Amino acid sequence: MFHLLAISTLLDPRFKKIHFHDPLACAGAIQKIKDLMKISLDESHGESDSDKSDQLSEDFSLWSDHHKLVHKNWKSNRNEESVSDEISVYLRATVGRLNENPLEIWADFKQQFPKLFHIAYKHLTIVASSVPSERLFSKASQVLNQQRNRLQGKRVNKILFLQSLDKNNWDL
């Protein structure tokens, strides 16, 4: 559970490594991000079963097999280097201002850090508390009481929506 907080902190451009007091914890979180990036790379570049069966049915040639292995090894090493480079460049960049929205910052970073963008967006959109849902349940309990126990779900949704609007939206 704490690794989600660590990853989210590292991927928030306003904080990055600033609040990590333990270098081992920071390195562990960076490694988890790298692992997530590798997993997403493997999923996007993975071979299908039909490709593997085609390779097995071909006549075996030592040198062609060697060239395939070298190419595959070179490709995976290059992907691992790009993963390390991407996270390194991101962490070396300056920290964003505190009043900026981290998702807007990542929208700008999308071209520069394409692999890291998807992981950052996934981790930065996690709701940090249950307060909004608790407020909604409290308002629903005020709407659905003894006198109004036969309201249909659609009507309750509309009433709760109207209650959630800001007072400024009510002025015509």
Residue spans of beta strands (DSSP E) within the chain? none
More confident residue, 76 or 144: 144
**42-69 confidence digits (pLDDT tens):** 676 554 444 444 444 455 666 677 667 7
Q: Which residue has the tokens 């509309």?
A: 158
Please determine, for residue 83, whether its predicted confidence score (pLDDT) is greater than 70: no
The token pair at 115 is: 């692999």
pLDDT at 116 over 80: yes
User: Please, are residues 95 and 12 in contact by the beta-carbon 8 Å criterion?
Assistant: no
Find, among 146, 143, 145, 137, the residue nearest to 162 by Cα: 143
Amino acid making up residue 130 = S
Q: Could you tell me the pTM of the whole model?
A: 0.53
What pLDDT is stored for residue 50 in this prediction?
42
Cβ contact 8:121 at 8 Å: no
**N- to C-terminal Cα distance for the chain?**
47
Of these ranges, 42-46, 122-126, 157-161, the one predicted with the greatest mean pLDDT is 157-161
Average of per-residue pLDDT across 141-169: 87
Q: Which has more confidence, 80 or 21? A: 21
| 145 and 134 Cβ atoms separated by less than 8 Å | no
